[in-house]
A and B are shown apart, each in its own frame.
Chain A
């Protein structure tokens, strides 16, 4: 029983880590209808920049984080200027392809600027087992608990930002209808910069958590692939969906790996999440919390 609880708990927390990446996807998809494949690479890029600032320029942690946020905002501005602005009104598949191109560029730039070796990221997040539960015989990473707390704060912050602020209202307007938003005087370009900046910051948070967990390296960009089933499970347009989807995927994946994996030769983590999401989709094609798609001729 204890073992089962431990598996479920670690699945829960791993799920929260997936949600952190999925959140960035949802933000951009909601506000611009772009399926941003580069989100994982953005997390890698943010983490690389953070480590680079700390190592090469000996910045203290807080300054490095501010510096990285500035870099991510500048990046959002550049992306809007050089890419999105020219792709207005294109089909979603074209925009999706463009973000894959962007992922390649960011990956190359990050490697050239900061080197491609594995780096340790230590910004003082507690590591190791959580003593209180460890005494009960359950192993839980402090880092993952910390990540869960951060995710909660992040979601609250985003909810307030979206619901209560002026920019948040504009963002929701743009998400609803591009043209209507334009006609009441909301600048699409500004909104896109804001949204990409916010998702850049979410990427930084995800990058810090994943980087502290397993080192900053190329494989970090592959967590985007882990976040995709979370997205289709939760729905592309729902922030709570990203969190709950992440938790379902995390728990399901861990349980399957531990209890089913040995029967079929292991390493099923790679595809199990997709199959789980696919099974859900057959019953709810728009994901658990996605907007219902109403189609007219």
Chain B
């Protein structure tokens, strides 16, 4: 009754091929955008923006990136942490070398650098598949982190081995480093995420996206009907790494301000992002947001309930937290292996038929 396409007639091919063909979807997207850019920055204070909204948005971007590779193209990668580190270190070196370019172009360039690195590490995917590939991408993870630890050039021979983001401004407002204005940071990240989420949705339904999905569903059959695996797989690695690199750059420059590679980009980051796309839904941009929201919010929520609510000892609470995260992941996989996005799809289907059961 509420959500249906009946009565919405398309009179041009353009309308028929729109990104959101149903009016209600369009209204929801506009509403979400208005809430994101208009209401959230007014309502939430700096703590909320910093502790919840920024990590949520940045991880969403990383999750979209991994989803392109794993969800759409079917290549499992455990190197996300390493690729985020590439983005972070590129933006750091660029910010110091070319501050006059402005922050957003620098983030885009570091995305491109990560894309190049990602393509390089994607080369083995042409020969090896499945879990062999997943383990091979761990090589990228460990090698890149080692590189950023050992080669002084990357952290400007700084004694602590850490990198700290220099302050940069956009329209006269500081947006990086610890002194940055929280609302400006939020709006910048939200803007980038919104643009690139729509771009991802658009790529995924186009020619390249269809090639990826063909490779995912059955690579030999795809090859036989004329999809070139070399181009499809490497472009998936490139686009995916571009997103992950941007997420890494924002993670370092905007959110954390200073990072140390072994802590900030270790293998647990790779797992975290992988969890996000599995819980959110493989092959779904919306699912990436759901997954990121779930895994960013849940630990904070659990910690608040246990430490503040029941006065649990902090160490015990940390153990209970990882048990709960683990159990929830297993539970989720059992109940809905296609993720939160699938629940959303089912809900839409129900709404379409409502009030009739079939």
Residues of A within 8 A of B (CB): 35, 82-83, 86-87, 90-94, 96-98, 100-109, 111-112, 116, 225, 228-229, 231-232, 236, 264-268, 270-271, 274-275, 277-278, 281-282, 285-287, 293, 295-297
The residue from A90, A111, A267, A297 contacting B221, defined by CB atoms under 8 A apart: A297
The residue from A231, A270, A297 contacting B135, defined by CB atoms under 8 A apart: A231
B138 at the interface (CB under 8 A from A): yes
Q: Point out the residues of chain B lying under 8 angstroms from A101, CB to CB.
A: 325-330, 333
A81–B134 Cα distance when bound, in Å, is: 28
Q: Is the CB of B329 within 8 A of A100?
A: yes
Q: Is the CB of B319 within 8 A of A108?
A: yes
Number of interface residues of B (CB under 8 A): 47
The residue from A107, A236, A281 contacting B127, defined by CB atoms under 8 A apart: A281
Q: Is the CB of A87 within 8 A of B327?
A: no
Q: Are A232 and B132 also in contact (CB < 8 A) when A270-B142, A271-B139 are?
A: yes
Within 8 A of A (CB), among B110-145: 124, 127-132, 134-136, 138-139, 142-143, 145
Q: Is the CB of A93 within 8 A of B329?
A: no
Q: Point out the residues of chain A lying under 8 angstroms from B135, CB to CB.
A: 228-229, 231-232, 274, 277
Q: Are A281 and B124 also in contact (CB < 8 A) when A90-B333, A97-B274, A102-B326 are?
A: yes
Q: Point out the residues of chain A lying under 8 angstroms from B101, CB to CB.
A: none
The residue from B128, B271, B333 contacting A87, defined by CB atoms under 8 A apart: B333
Q: Is the CB of A287 within 8 A of B150?
A: no
Interface centre among A93, A264, A277, by most B CB within 10 Å?
Answer: A93
For residue A39, give the distance in angstroms from its CB to the closest CB of chain B.
13
Q: Is the CB of A105 within 8 A of B224?
A: no
Q: Are A93 and B150 also in contact (CB < 8 A) when A108-B319, A229-B135, A297-B220 are?
A: no
Chain B positions 215 through 229: 1 when the CB is less than 8 Å from some CB of chain A, otherwise 0: 000101100100000
Q: Point out the residues of chain B lying under 8 angstroms from A274, CB to CB.
A: 135-136, 138-139, 142-143
Q: Is the CB of A112 within 8 A of B334?
A: no
B196 at the interface (CB under 8 A from A): no
Within 8 A of A (CB), among B303-358: 315-316, 319-323, 325-330, 333-334, 337
B146 at the interface (CB under 8 A from A): yes
Q: List 15 A-B contacts (CB under 8 A).
A: A35-B131, A90-B337, A92-B131, A93-B76, A102-B326, A102-B330, A108-B320, A108-B321, A108-B326, A116-B315, A231-B135, A267-B149, A270-B142, A275-B143, A278-B139
B275 at the interface (CB under 8 A from A): yes
A102–B329 Cα distance when bound, in Å, is: 9
Q: Point out the residues of chain A lying under 8 angstroms from B278, CB to CB.
A: 93-94, 97
CB closest residue in chain A, given B142: A271
Q: Point out the residues of chain A lying under 8 angstroms from B221, CB to CB.
A: 297
The residue from B128, B145, B322, B323 contacting A281, defined by CB atoms under 8 A apart: B128
CB closest residue in chain A, given B151: A265
